Amino acid sequence: MLKVTEPLDCLPGKENNIQLEALYNPVQKEITDVENVLERICRISELKPLLKGGKRLRPALVLLSSLFGRGPCPDTINLAAAVEILHLASLVHDDIIDCSAYRRGRPTINNLLGEKSAVLAGDYLFFLFLELSAGLGESALSSLSGVLKDLIKAEFDQQREVFNFNIFEKTYLKRTSQKAGSFLSCCCKLGALLAGAQTKIIISLEKYGLFLGISFQITDDLLDYKGKPEQTGKPGSNDITRGVFTLPLIHALNNSHNKNTLREIIMGRELPLSAHEYIINDMRETGSLDYAAEMAKRYAMLAERALSSLPDCPARDSLYSLSEFVTKRDF
């Protein structure tokens, strides 16, 4: 088996790591503990690099939410590690489905090891996720299984809708809610629940995670069109090539004066660089990129509103800063 020498989901630059470390400051020690769990639990040496790097957003949400209760404990550390492994497993399988050669500027596991080994790697990561989740209690397991079900359903729906020019914005938002909103909502909910937080606090954090996840995904989809490949770590307008219509393109297809031309170009499937540039320029002129950015901000504001009832503390400050970060990031 070929050895993986680079993490699949690492950030493109040191400055981005530093920026996130500042936001995670109240739980930085515990994130190091999560890193140690990830290093210890993986028993296949070739796969250990897959568990390194990344934004660590999901573990951070678990740990920050736990500060509204008794704070981090062994269960919350294991939960934080489990959700990171689940996230990585879903990325591995996404890359296989999409035949992606790179993620975050690094070769994907299917690029390095081939599709068969990549499937096994994804399955092994799901096993690690289950192993870590097993001792967290019935409520936690039920919530995590719900997240996994939502992730799979969202991917099924996305595959069903490829090159569907009649997709509605509400369909996209529902899928986004299942794909990212459900996951981040669960991270916040369970982090607080396992730390014994009050019910009203858990509900507020659950709402925060839902809206944060939707905002995060809209921004992610927006970066596919306006982000720079050297910052995002993936080729520009990659979604068009795959026939995945996200919010900016859905808006353009419904509002552009050149919507028929857009359809004809996209139906060609194999798009030259000039075609990508035409589509992006049209989205810019139609206001589709600005529309998506405003939608991301709107959901970030809803996330912030959900925090208003929480006690003032460094953890809440970090969550506020994260809601601003997700819409302003360039990776």
The enclosing domain of 256 has a CATH number of 1.10.600.10
In this structure, the chain runs to a length of 331
Q: Examine residue 182 and state whether it is found in any structural domain, yes or no.
A: yes
Instruction: Give residue 13's pLDDT.
Output: 44
pLDDT at 111: 86
Beta bridge partners of 107: 102
Q: Which domain holds residue 52?
A: 14-328
pTM above threshold 0.85:
yes
Output the pLDDT for position 5: 35
Number of domains in the chain: 1
Is 199 among the domain residues?
Answer: yes
What pLDDT is stored for residue 20 in this prediction?
Answer: 81
3 within some domain: no
d(CA 163, CA 263): 10
Rounded average pLDDT per 10-residue block, the chain, 331 residues: 35 55 93 94 83 89 98 96 95 84 77 86 93 93 95 92 94 96 98 97 98 97 76 61 93 96 90 91 96 98 97 96 92 73
Q: What integer pLDDT is reported at residue 39 of this predicted model?
A: 92
Q: Give yes or no for a contact between 201 and 310, defined as CB atoms under 8 angstroms apart.
A: yes
For the segment 135-153, what is each residue's pLDDT rounded down to a tens digit? 999 999 999 999 999 999 9
Identify whether 4 is part of a domain: no
Report how far residue 158's alpha carbon sits from residue 254's, in angstroms, rounded to the nearest whole number. Answer: 19
For residue 89, being part of any structural domain is answered with yes
SS (H, E, C) the chain: CCCCCCCCCCCCCHHHHHHHHHHCHHHHHHHHHHHHHHHHHCCCHHHHHHHCCCCCHHHHHHHHHHCCCCCCCHHHHHHHHHHHHHHHHHHHHHHHHHCCCEECCEECHHHHHCHHHHHHHHHHHHHHHHHHHCCCCHHHHHHHHHHHHHHHHHHHHHHHCCCCCCCCHHHHHHHHHHHHHHHHHHHHHHHHHHCCCCHHHHHHHHHHHHHHHHHHHHHHHHHHHHCCHHHHCCCCCHHHHHCCCCHHHHHHHHHCCCHHHHHHHHHCCCCCHHHHHHHHHHHHHHCHHHHHHHHHHHHHHHHHHHHCCCCCCHHHHHHHHHHHHHHHCCC
Among all chains, which residue has been given the structure tokens 């690094």?
106
Give the pLDDT confidence score for residue 2 in this predicted structure. 32
The answer to the question of residue 222 being in a domain is yes
* Residue 90 counted as domain residue: yes
286 HSE (CA, 13 A, CB side): 23
CA gap 106, 5 in Å, rounded: 10
